[in-house]
């Protein structure tokens, strides 16, 4: 039989070996191209039990997608063997994702009688680094950064014993033979310490900033309960607003700092160990500077033995563990690189000598509207593929989708699988592009995918678009341009196997539109291979272009101008905290259409409202204003929403409906002036936006007869908006679909691009 799924490097062969012995079966197992091949012979009841237990008792990291079994004549085998990969032809290609320390290893780590007591790199076939330590396929020790560590006799014996938990555990190591940790100063010199981990905790508790080498890169760490230490880290990083992730000892400790739902607890403890955005408890002792201005905390649990050790003596309660980089640069992985880039930030470095070969940030997830939502899909998920549902009847030729611009993630696709890269950050400079090409080369080798086509965004100015076009020309690939919001919507359709047509709501930051304008509040009548624009938020000017994203007060000025307010009046100036002179300049720009591109972005509407309600003039990180606005309403009951205006639209002539925010602004400003609480205003605003789009969806159904709605775009990270939209649409009788395995934001864009490209190519053939 042939078993497909995630069955290599996860202890599957020793599991099958034990199973065969227990059921008294003879035969063999070996890895093949994309799974394992098993031949067993023996009594019928044994074979039957073997088959059912194969699925029921598979090891924790394994994922069985299919078992294809057929009968063969008995060959009279005696005993059960694990055969070398080469015997079955082409060598295996899979590299598993990194997995958190398993309970068995954790027990050994903390057991003074165990030979690996407090060993920071212990692992087994059920846990440990995988993707981040692998240079090339096949996933075997010589191809990993463990190659330079020769196993001692004890480790080798475990590695060779099919009944041992460490049978073929490629990163197997111990105090005798494996990597080591040490503390170093900013100059690189080792700081003498009996126990580098204990010395690190001393430093952290004294308020120092420590760079700690992890699984996918370095973290910058400080004591999360020490306000001054957190501020020190922020000042040195020159990042003041962006929330920092906090690691705590275990689930019990996480419950002390956050009010967790069962779904959030389940998410926290998966082997991928993502950062989970959860509701922070008041008075939980975490420094305010960790996540200023918002009611959530990004919390996660240790996933590497070294991290468990930092909490083992219970002196450290909560540690900030944030990716060691400057703003959106790639995370630092190399010891020398870390010293060079972080020397001015970290007081000391907790180093180790197991090389990190693939940069990989921590993943970020949340439970939104009752279901898992991936915000950043990286460590623990990469390089696992996402399968296109069979109902889609879509097979992709080998292709590459390069993603967008911000929060870039690319995807490779072949057949029914789309493999997304780790989060690569913003492709704004050459460092970002280097990371992109380095990671692309690695994943192309890993999956042996040589693309025939390359999908890219419609935006002519994106570095990713430019790169894709050059690549297509140089290698004779078919280039396919995909509109940004169509990619968002098609991705969500594909996740749910919707092969026909659907109404797609793409509520997003910005994306280049088919008319050259900046879209982002879109109702698209969508197929996988194309779309029509049914409705959109009314265009408003962005005075100063990109500057209006960094300075939301400009966006508010644009919106108020569009809504008919006199933007030089004292009333508006005081709302915005703006000076008459600057308002005059921007007004002229908008009137003359100079440096004031038009946008239908929903994210920009949130920014504009946040600028007025919260008085936030400048943002420190993307979507900050919108996130704070959502946070403001977190405890507020549902309110009737501000009205939005529906105008224009003629479906027979494909003329889109316009959703105007004029009435919304007028009521909102009245509310502000009459002293309605800001929390209540924020709640009414969310409800108004949701209701406006629900009305547009109802019109789209009337015009097209479609009853299925998919929700996508970066604004779907907003819990309140996601919940209100779904509830509103369901109340109108729609069937509603949201992203589950792919991010609704730009981290999921390449998945959607790959789907659209595959659908277009399938149609052409
Ligand atoms: Zn383990
Ligand atoms: Zn050893
Ligand atoms: Zn987007």
Ligand nearest to the CA of 744: 3
Q: Look at residue 620 and give its three-state secondary structure.
A: coil
CA 257 – CA 299 distance, rounded (Å) = 9
How distant, in Å, are the alpha carbons of 95, 209, 210, 244, 530 from that of 344?
36, 10, 11, 19, 50
What confidence tier does 594 reach under pLDDT thresholds 50, 70, 90?
very high
* Predicted confidence (pLDDT) at residue 38 exceeds the cutoff of 70: yes
CA of 179 to the centre of ligand 2 (A): 10
Buried b / exposed e over 703-735, threshold 16 CB at 10 Å, is beebebbbbbbbbbbbbbbbbbbbebbeeeebe
Which residues, 6 or more positions from 115, have their beta carbon under 8 angstroms from its beta carbon? 154, 174, 175
**Each residue of 510-524: pLDDT tens digit?**
999 999 999 999 999
Mean pLDDT of 528-544: 98
pLDDT (average), residues 591-620:
96
What are residue 275's DSSP bridge partners?
364
How far does the centroid of ligand 1 lie from the alpha carbon of residue 106, in Å? 7
- Cα(749) to ligand 3 centroid in Å equals 7
Query: Which ligand is in closest contact with the Cα of 61?
Result: 1
Q: Which ligand is nearest to the CA of 462?
A: 3
Region 241-261: what's the mean pLDDT?
97
Output the pLDDT for position 3.
Answer: 86
Cα(743) to ligand 3 centroid in Å equals: 10
Per-residue pLDDT reduced to its tens digit, 624-670: 999 999 999 999 999 999 999 999 999 999 999 999 999 999 999 99
Residue 383 Cα to ligand 3 midpoint, Å, equals 22
Band (pLDDT 50/70/90 cuts) for residue 91 is very low
**CA pair distance 222, 246, nearest whole angstrom:** 9
CA of 252 to the centre of ligand 1 (A): 21
What is the model's pLDDT at position 407?
86
pLDDT value, residue 89: 45
Write down the pLDDT at residue 328: 67
Tens-digit pLDDT profile for residues 215-227: 999 999 999 999 9
| Ligand nearest to the backbone CA of 717 | 3
Q: How confident is the model at residue 327 (pLDDT cuts 50, 70, 90)?
A: low
Taking the CB of residue 189, how many other CB atoms lie within 10 A of it?
Answer: 8
Confidence of residue 85 (pLDDT cuts 50, 70, 90): low
Cα 194 to middle of ligand 2, angstroms: 21
Q: What is the mean pLDDT of residues 584-606?
A: 97
- pLDDT-above-70 percentage for the chain: 98
CA of 518 to the centre of ligand 3 (A): 11
Q: Quick one: how far is CA 399 from the chain centroid?
A: 21
Cα separation values, 68 from 1, 618, 672, Å = 5, 58, 65
Predicted confidence band of residue 92 (pLDDT cuts 50, 70, 90): very low
- pTM here is 0.93
Smallest Cα–Cα separation from 385: which of 455, 457, 456, 443? 443
Please give the average per-residue pLDDT across 691-710, as a whole number.
98
Q: Can you give the pLDDT at residue 87?
A: 47
Q: How confident is the model at residue 135 (pLDDT cuts 50, 70, 90)?
A: confident
Q: How many residues are listed for the chain in this entry?
A: 765
pLDDT of 398 > 70? The answer is: yes
The pLDDT score that the predictor gives to residue 86 is 53
Contact 542, 554 (CB under 8 A): yes
CA of 173 from ligand 2 middle (Å) equals 5
Specify the pLDDT at position 88: 47
Centre of ligand 2 from the C-alpha of residue 168, in Å: 14
Is 687 in contact with 723 (CB distance < 8 Å)?
no
Q: Taking residues 410-434, what's their average pLDDT?
A: 89
pLDDT band at 532 (very low <50, low <70, confident <90, very high): very high
Q: What percent of the chain has pLDDT over 90?
A: 82
Q: What pLDDT is stored for residue 94 in this prediction?
A: 67
pLDDT tens figures, 74-83: 888 888 988 8
The token pair that represents 235 in the structure block:
């000042």
- For ligand 3, the distance from its centroid to the CA atom of residue 724, given in whole angstroms, is 20
Choose the weakest-confidence range: 386-390, 412-416, 735-739: 386-390
Q: Are 68 and 2 in contact (CB under 8 A)?
A: yes
Supply the pLDDT for residue 34: 65
Per-residue pLDDT, averaged over 166-188, amounts to: 95
The backbone torsions φ and ψ at residue 323, rounded to the nearest 5 degrees and listed phi first, read -50, 130
Closest ligand to 169 CA? 1
Asked if pLDDT for residue 99 goes beyond 60, the answer is: yes
Ligand approaching nearest to the C-alpha of 603: 3
**Are 725 and 695 spatial neighbours (Cβ–Cβ below 8 Å)?**
no
pLDDT band at 90 (very low <50, low <70, confident <90, very high): very low
**pLDDT, greater one: 583 or 407:** 583
Residue 734 — left, alpha, or beta (φ > 0 → left; ψ -120 to 50 → alpha)?
Answer: beta
pLDDT per position as a tens digit, 106-131: 999 999 999 999 999 999 999 999 99
**Mean pLDDT taken over the chain:** 94
- First-to-last CA distance in the chain? 33
- What pLDDT was estimated at residue 37? 87
């Amino acid at each position: 039989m042939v078993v497909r799924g995630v069955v290599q490097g996860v202890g599957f062969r020793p599991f099958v070996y034990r199973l065969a012995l227990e059921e008294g079966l003879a035969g063999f197992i070996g890895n093949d191209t994309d799974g394992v091949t098993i031949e067993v012979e023996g009594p019928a009841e044994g074979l039957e039990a073997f088959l059912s237990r194969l699925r029921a008792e598979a090891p924790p990291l394994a994922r069985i997608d299919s078992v294809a079994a057929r009968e063969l004549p008995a060959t009279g085998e005696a005993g059960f063997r694990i055969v070398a990969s080469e015997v079955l032809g082409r060598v295996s290609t899979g590299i598993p994702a990194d997995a958190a320390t398993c309970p068995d290893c954790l027990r050994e780590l903390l057991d003074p009688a165990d030979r690996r007591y407090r060993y920071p790199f212990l692992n087994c076939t059920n846990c440990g680094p995988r993707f981040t330590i692998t240079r090339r396929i096949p996933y075997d020790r010589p191809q990993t950064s463990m190659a330079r560590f020769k196993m001692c006799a004890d480790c080798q014996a475990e590695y060779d014993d099919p009944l041992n938990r460490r049978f073929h555990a490629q990163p197997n190591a111990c105090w005798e033979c494996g990597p080591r940790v040490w503390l170093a100063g900013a100059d690189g010199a080792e700081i003498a310490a009996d126990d580098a981990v204990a010395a690190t905790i001393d430093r952290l508790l004294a308020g120092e900033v420590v760079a700690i080498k992890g699984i996918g890169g370095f973290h910058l760490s400080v004591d999360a309960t020490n306000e001054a230490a957190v501020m020190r880290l922020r000042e040195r990083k020159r990042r003041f607003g962006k929330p920092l992730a906090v690691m705590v000892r275990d689930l019990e400790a996480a419950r002390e700092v956050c009010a967790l739902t069962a779904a959030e607890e389940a998410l926290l403890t998966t082997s991928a160990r993502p950062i989970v955005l959860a509701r922070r408890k008041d008075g939980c002792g975490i420094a305010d500077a960790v996540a200023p201005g918002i009611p959530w905390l990004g919390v996660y649990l240790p996933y590497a033995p070294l991290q468990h050790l930092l909490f083992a003596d219970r002196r450290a309660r909560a540690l900030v563990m944030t990716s060691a980089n400057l703003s959106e640069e790639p995370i630092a992985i190399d010891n020398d690189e870390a010293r060079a880039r972080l020397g001015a930030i970290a007081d000391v470095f907790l180093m180790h000598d197991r090389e990190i070969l693939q940069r990989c940030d921590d993943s970020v997830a949340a439970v939104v509207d009752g279901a898992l939502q991936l915000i950043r899909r990286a460590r623990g998920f990469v390089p696992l593929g996402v399968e296109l549902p069979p109902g889609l009847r879509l097979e992709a030729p080998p292709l590459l989708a390069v993603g967008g611009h911000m929060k870039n993630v690319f995807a490779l696709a072949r057949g029914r699988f789309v493999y997304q890269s780790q989060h690569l950050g913003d492709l704004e400079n050459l460092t970002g592009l280097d990371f992109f090409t380095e990671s692309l080369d690695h994943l192309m080798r890993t999956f042996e995918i040589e693309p025939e086509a390359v999908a890219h965004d419609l935006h002519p100015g994106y570095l990713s678009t430019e790169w894709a076009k050059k690549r297509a020309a140089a290698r004779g690939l078919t280039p396919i341009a995909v509109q940004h919001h169509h990619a968002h919507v098609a991705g969500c359709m594909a996740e749910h196997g919707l092969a026909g047509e659907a109404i797609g709501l793409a509520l997003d930051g910005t994306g280049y539109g088919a008319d050259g304008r900046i879209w982002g509040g879109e109702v698209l009548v969508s197929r996988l291979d194309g779309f029509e624009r049914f409705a959109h938020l009314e265009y408003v000017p962005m005075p100063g272009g990109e500057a209006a994203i960094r300075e939301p007060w400009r966006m508010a000025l644009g919106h108020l101008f569009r809504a008919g307010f006199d933007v030089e009046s004292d009333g508006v100036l005081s709302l915005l905290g703006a000076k008459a002179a600057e308002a005059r300049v921007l007004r002229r720009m908008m009137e003359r259409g100079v440096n004031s591109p038009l946008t239908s972005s929903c994210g920009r509407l949130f920014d504009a409202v946040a600028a007025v309600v919260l008085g936030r003039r400048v943002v420190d990180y993307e979507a900050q204003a919108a996130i704070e606005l959502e946070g403001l309403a977190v405890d507020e009951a549902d309110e009737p929403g501000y009205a939005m205006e529906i105008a224009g639209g003629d479906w027979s002539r494909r003329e889109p409906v316009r959703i105007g925010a004029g009435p919304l602004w007028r009521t909102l400003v009245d509310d502000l002036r009459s002293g309605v609480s800001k929390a209540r205003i924020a709640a009414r605003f969310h409800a108004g936006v949701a209701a406006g789009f629900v009305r547009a969806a109802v019109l789209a159904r009337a015009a097209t007869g479609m009853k299925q709605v998919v929700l996508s775009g970066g604004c779907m990270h907003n819990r309140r908006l996601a919940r209100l939209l779904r509830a509103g649409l369901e109340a109108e009788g729609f069937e509603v679909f949201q992203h589950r395995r792919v991010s609704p934001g730009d981290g999921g864009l390449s998945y959607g691009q790959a789907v659209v490209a595959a659908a277009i190519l399938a149609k052409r053939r």
